[in-house]
Amino acid sequence: MGKPVVVLGIFNADTGYRAARLPKLGETIMGAGFHLGPGGKGSNQATAAARAGGDVHMVTRLGEDDFAAMARAVWADAGVKPHVIVDRESHTGSAFIFLQEGTGQNAIIVCPGAAGRISEDDVEAHRALIEGAGVFLTQLEQPQPAALAALKIARAAGVTTILNPAPAAALPDEMLALVDILTPNESEAETLTGLPVTTVAEAEAAADALIARGVGAVIVTLGANGVLWRKDGVSLHAPARAPGPVVDTTGAGDAFNGGFAVALSEGQAIADALAFGCAVAGISVTRHGAATAMPARAEVEALLAS
Ligand code: RIB
């Protein structure tokens, strides 16, 4: 097992609706299926990393309700160590997930509840945990000041920092300068830079623009085209792995981030860590759900060896 991976982020109970298309405003349509399951980008990433063999710690806020019990159950099953502030004045997060029949593409609305109240004080209370990490990983579903505070602690302690800038938001240069590895998808890279990102060359240009603002390296996740690593003007491309038909892409980015983080925490070389993350993501999209789709280490190794 590698050094600890500490994740700051949120848990949601995902309510997933499968249908041919999204309804228009004022319209009712019939769906093709429903599932209720564990989600939230931070929690999904922590679950992916733990199932992939990491020593993983999750810092978050939960309410005291049935969805909080769902969070604790999925973490216990995966081996994620929870560091939870229980917030009795709010509720555990939830998300509406639209899944398009046939393509597995999704559209999401997040209501973070208690996790929307994660504060800089909450982060400070976990200073020693963050300082002891090998890799610190966060996203943008909890308030930005909390993410910024945690990145400052991690950077000062020499911990490798990964920011998955999702959902997309404008970020100050002060925050970008604290990030060793930024992992936007194409649309997030566009939002962050104002540049189009539809080709590999455009992804490289966007990555270079982010590096010029202070980020150490950028991984642009390209969906079915895999991922592009960019640092110091040099690119590495890792192709997507597809061990079966794609049924649900909801947690694909989270699967990649979790897998990549745990590979880094083990000291794997960047090219190997990218391939490892792609294998975790490739398996996850062949299954329904977000956290429940994350593969076990043995499955990832089998795919990498195939
Ligand atoms: O990245 C997918 C996740 O985004 C879902 O699980 C949903 O909860 C939202 O946080």
Write down the domain spans for the chain: 5-10+39-92+115-305
**Residue 3: DSSP 8-state:** S
Count of positions (residues) in the chain: 306
Distance from Cα 9 to the centre of ligand 1, integer Å: 11
pLDDT value for 165: 98
Distance from Cα 164 to the centre of ligand 1, integer Å: 12
Question: Which atom from ligand 1 is nearest to the alpha carbon of 38?
Answer: 6
Distance from Cα 261 to the centre of ligand 1, integer Å: 18
pLDDT value for 105: 82
Q: What is the CATH number of domain 5-10+39-92+115-305?
A: 3.40.1190.20
Hey, what amino acid is at 211? Answer: I
Hey, what amino acid is at 120? Answer: E
Look up residue 17 and give its two tokens: 């609706």
Q: Could you tell which of 250, 254, 280, 288 is best to mutate to test the pocket of ligand 1, judged by most ligand atoms within 8 Å of the CB? A: 250
Which residue ranges of the chain lie beneath pLDDT 50? Answer: none
What are the φ and ψ backbone dihedral angles of 34, each rounded to 5 degrees?
A: -140, 145
Nearest CA to ligand 1 atom 9: 40
**Residues with catalytic function:** 254
Separation between Cα atoms, residue 204 and residue 186, nearest integer Å: 11
Nearest CA to ligand 1 atom 7: 40
Nearest CA to ligand 1 atom 8: 40
C-alpha distances in Å from residue 89, one per residue of 62, 68, 183, 217: 10, 13, 33, 39
Question: Which atom from ligand 1 is nearest to the alpha carbon of 252?
Answer: 1
**Residue 72: DSSP 8-state:** H
Sign of torsion, CA 187 191 196 202? Answer: negative
pLDDT value for 102: 82
C-alpha distances in Å from residue 188, one per residue of 63, 113, 194, 217: 29, 23, 10, 15
Pocket of ligand 1 (CB under 6 A): 12, 14, 39-41, 44, 95, 108, 110, 141, 250-251, 253-254, 290
Instruction: Report yes or no: 292 and 35 within 8 Å, Cβ to Cβ.
Output: no
